[in-house]
Chains A and B, each alone.
Chain A
Amino acid sequence: MNKPSEVVIVGAGIVGAACAFELAAEGLRVLVIDEGFPSTGATGAAMGHIVVMDDSEAQFAITRYSQILWDDLCDQLPAAVEFDPCGTLWVAADEEEMAEVRRKFDYYRERGVNAEILDSQQVRDAEPRLRAPLTGALRVPGDSVVYPPCATGFLLQKARELGARIIHGRPVAAIGAGTVRLADGTVLAAAFIINAAGQSAPQLSRGISIKPRKGHLVITDRYPNFLRHQVVELGYLKSAHSLTADSVAFNVQPRKTGQILIGSSRQYGAQNSTVDESILARMLQRAFEYMPDLNSLSAIRVWTGFRPATPDKLPLIGPSPEDPSVLVAAGHEGLGITTSLATAKLICAQILGQRPAIPVQPYLPSRQMTAEAHV
């Protein structure tokens, strides 16, 4: 007979997998349960960037911390994870966006993140496929890219080697008060339960708010050396901030396979995973505006996914407002691949009663209760 688990993690996306690895490494008996197969939810649909972001101090703190953790891990990552330290190029199309380049540069420099400002000519040299002229860009060389399903598989494998058990194809019906009840009636006891169920997390932990934000992605055939960096338009900051309107932004990634991944779109209220032709066309047109040569590349696949988004764009990491025996690790929106590792560290610190490397307050789920009270 297996000993009862000390920690049951619900959800084997990248966040659940990172938590499993971290907690197993601390010597805890861990069980991961997923309703499907690992990383077939938002993780499987994600672009896979590991990127430092600065929408808020809290977002910067968790993305930066995570990036350092990924860099520490990168030597261990097998080839299938496709870790590529390609860096990010934030491109500015006008003076307003160039001002943002300078602001971002100062912000990163003050916090020890390596970055450099490129002028129009330097942008062309860095990424010859970009249309000319662009005003400039910010290059962040420390950013990287992974293939999320295999990154998740790697974390689960490490957890397994440390004694964790992983069960898949078993939906969870309810969690709380130290027990996990599966849809088939099985009841499991655990000292700690981690709700890492992504967009399904609110069904298991009442009192938290996560809304699916639909996205489309296109992947091309193999075109080695077509692209060097992940490239994102700074107009993205304008469009991605909108909490209601559908938006598209130019965001391309070179994959280790030589393929080009083209994004991105954001839609609230879209429940259906069908490809939406009009937003797909808008997204591609936007990409062609920045990188005209993309239009003749062969597109192999289009897919959609749902980012688990919170109203304040920060993940939920910490005790559930309704049941402190449940720790929520969900709501990572479009940054789950990046922030999975720091999330696991913060969850682990809370379970072990240790002091975390970064303050946990901004991510505590209880903040949503307070925010609601103010509405």
Chain B
Amino acid sequence: MDSVKHLRFDVAVVGAGPAGIAAALAAADSGKTVGLIDDNPAAGGQIWRGAQNVQRHSVSAVWLERLNKSAIQLVRGARVFHAADGELAAESDDSAIQISYGKLILATGARELYLPFPGWTLPNVMGAGGLQALVKSGLDIAGKRIVVAGTGPLLLAVAAYARKCGAKVVGICEQTTRPRMARFGMKMMLVPGKAAEALHFAYELRGIPHWTDCWPVAAFGNRRLESVRISRQGQTSEIECDYLACGFHLIPNVELPRMCGCQLKNGFVDVNEYQQTSVAGTYCAGEPTGIGGLELALVEGEIAGYAATNWEDRAKHLFPKRARYQTVVRILKAAFPLRPELKNLARPDTLVCRCEDVSHERLCEYTSWRAAKLHTRCGMGPCQGRVCAPAAEFLFGWQIDSVRPPLYPVRCSSLAAIPSHSVPRN
């Protein structure tokens, strides 16, 4: 039987990406005990993965150093899989962990949306963020030919990163239209810091084709990716490549907030000006409240951290800064809506659920996610529908089920160690 650890914090922060780190540091200013819980072996989240190795004075290095010097207890490698009655249940490699708290800050980040198209399950076809994460974890892409496809500024960041690591970026396929892209560029120039970022990317990506109205239609290869067929302004062509990195939007990780009882609005966690959710004492910051990028995540995190420690003045002081970056959320939304053609990429035999090998045509006969899931096993595998459910939502317009514990697969022993209270909740 595993051991069960008990932890108690005045403020518990779930997710050690930028929003969570900023929240934990702000909360720790008050002298209260702060715990920062993350399922990765190190802090940084998806965006700052492997940031320990980057140069000093970079934004990530500064924040991570502040974190290291603080009194915050970092609970690493712990996956929160359940929340009820003011307690969290988590699991690490060797124990179940029960975490109780005074205030809770949820900074659970986002994951990538994968859209099924023929060949998307071939080895070396991956998420744009996923490829970046693999490279940061040691994958060598020097000399490899990479096509980056999807939508939004993440493509530029990933392409620039890949080039810096020695890869040959063959092209960037942006599904949005040229006018939308142009408007996006102009609007972002008005957001502080973004003009410099854009120039930086323009420099880093010089010479790389950046096609608009362009998306992947199929990937080919014998055992692994060899080429990708793209549609570009109505014409299809085939490009040889070693990797295809696809980034079609980010999906907020709202499962834990939902399990905590937080209300959603248009798919994102609904928060007030202090980043407080519909549940008193529970706050949310970063991508789950709206996809807005790094700067917004940091300032939202700080506001949540101060608000959770009753430092309203300090929180309020940051409202104007947050308002500036919130315009990014609106600009992104207006610039990169997914075009309807992307719903028709999957062929009848294209897999939608890779855990359970469920094809597109098998899903077509159902009218709801629950019915499709029960009858085809779609979403019933170890990823628990994290990949196929958002795809099915986009393709078929289905509403996804309620959330239930465990949020992630956990050992049965951890499930049996969930804090249970004598008062039945029925």
Contacts and interface: CB of A to CB of B under 8 A. Distances in A.
B6 to A, nearest CB: 16
A130 interface: no
A300 B381 contact: yes
Interface of A: 36-40, 44, 149-150, 153, 168-169, 218, 220-221, 262, 267, 269-272, 274-278, 280-281, 284-285, 287-288, 294-303
Interface string B362-406: 000011101100110000111010000000000000000000111
B366 A37 contact: yes
A277 B380 contact: no
A284 B384 CA distance: 21
Contacts of B1: 288, 295
A298 B410 contact: yes
Given A278-B422, A300-B382, A300-B409, 19 more contacts: A37-B366, A44-B370, A169-B367, A221-B382, A270-B424, A272-B426, A274-B425, A277-B82, A277-B418, A277-B420, A280-B415, A280-B418, A280-B420, A295-B412, A295-B413, A295-B416, A298-B409, A300-B381, A302-B406
Contacts of A168: 367
Nearest to A287: B412
Given A284-B416, A295-B416, A300-B384, A277 B84 contact: yes
A39 B370 CA distance: 10
Contacts of A288: 1, 412-413, 416
Contact of B418 (A149, A262, A281, A294): A281
A285 B416 contact: yes
Given A297-B411, A302-B405, A40 B426 contact: no
B421 interface: yes
B419 interface: yes
B188 interface: no
B417 interface: yes
A34 B366 CA distance: 14
Contacts of A220: 412
Contacts of A37: 366-368, 370-371, 374
A277 B415 CA distance: 9
Interface centre among A38, A40, A285, A295 (most CB of B within 10 A): A295
Given A277-B84, A280-B418, A299-B406, A272 B412 contact: no
Nearest to B406: A299
Contact of B426 (A169, A276, A285, A299): A276
A98 to B, nearest CB: 28
B139 to A, nearest CB: 26
A300 B375 contact: no
Contacts of B405: 275, 277, 302
Contacts of A153: 375
Given A37-B367, A37-B371, A299 B417 contact: no
A4 B418 CA distance: 54
Contacts of A276: 424-426
B409 A221 contact: yes
11 contacts: A39-B375, A149-B374, A169-B367, A220-B412, A276-B425, A276-B426, A278-B421, A281-B415, A295-B2, A298-B410, A302-B404
A39 B375 CA distance: 9
A60 to B, nearest CB: 31
Contact of A298 (B82, B382, B416): B382
A153 to B, nearest CB: 6
B380 A218 contact: no
B422 A298 contact: no
Contacts of B416: 280-281, 284-285, 288, 295
A270 B412 CA distance: 24
Contacts of A169: 367
Contact of B411 (A271, A287, A299): A299
Contacts of B370: 37, 40, 44
A299 B404 contact: no
Interface centre among B1, B366, B416, B417 (most CB of A within 10 A): B416
A299 B415 contact: yes
Nearest to A272: B426
Contacts of A297: 411-412
Contact of B424 (A39, A278, A280): A278
Nearest to A169: B367
Given A40-B374, A276-B425, A296 B413 contact: yes
Nearest to B419: A277
B404 A278 contact: no
Contacts of A298: 382, 409-412
A302 B426 contact: no
A276 B423 CA distance: 10
A23 B421 CA distance: 49
Contacts of A281: 415-418, 420
A281 B409 CA distance: 16
Given A153-B375, A277-B420, A303 B366 contact: no
Contacts of A300: 380-382, 384, 406, 409
Nearest to A292: B1
B404 A275 contact: yes
Nearest to B414: A299
A287 to B, nearest CB: 8
A218 B415 CA distance: 10
Interface in B327-370: 366-368, 370
Contact of B412 (A44, A149, A294): A294
Given A37-B367, A149-B374, A281-B420, A295 B411 contact: yes
Contacts of A39: 374-375
Contacts of A296: 411-413
B184 to A, nearest CB: 40
Contacts of A278: 420-422, 424
Interface centre among A218, A277, A299, A303 (most CB of B within 10 A): A277
B193 to A, nearest CB: 43
A220 to B, nearest CB: 7
Contacts of A36: 368, 371
Contacts of B426: 267, 269-272, 274, 276
A167 B65 CA distance: 62
A288 to B, nearest CB: 7
Contacts of B417: 281
A284 to B, nearest CB: 4
A284 B415 contact: yes
Nearest to A149: B374
B92 to A, nearest CB: 14
Contacts of B368: 36-37
A296 B418 CA distance: 15
A215 B419 CA distance: 19
A172 B420 CA distance: 39
A299 B382 CA distance: 9
Contacts of A271: 426
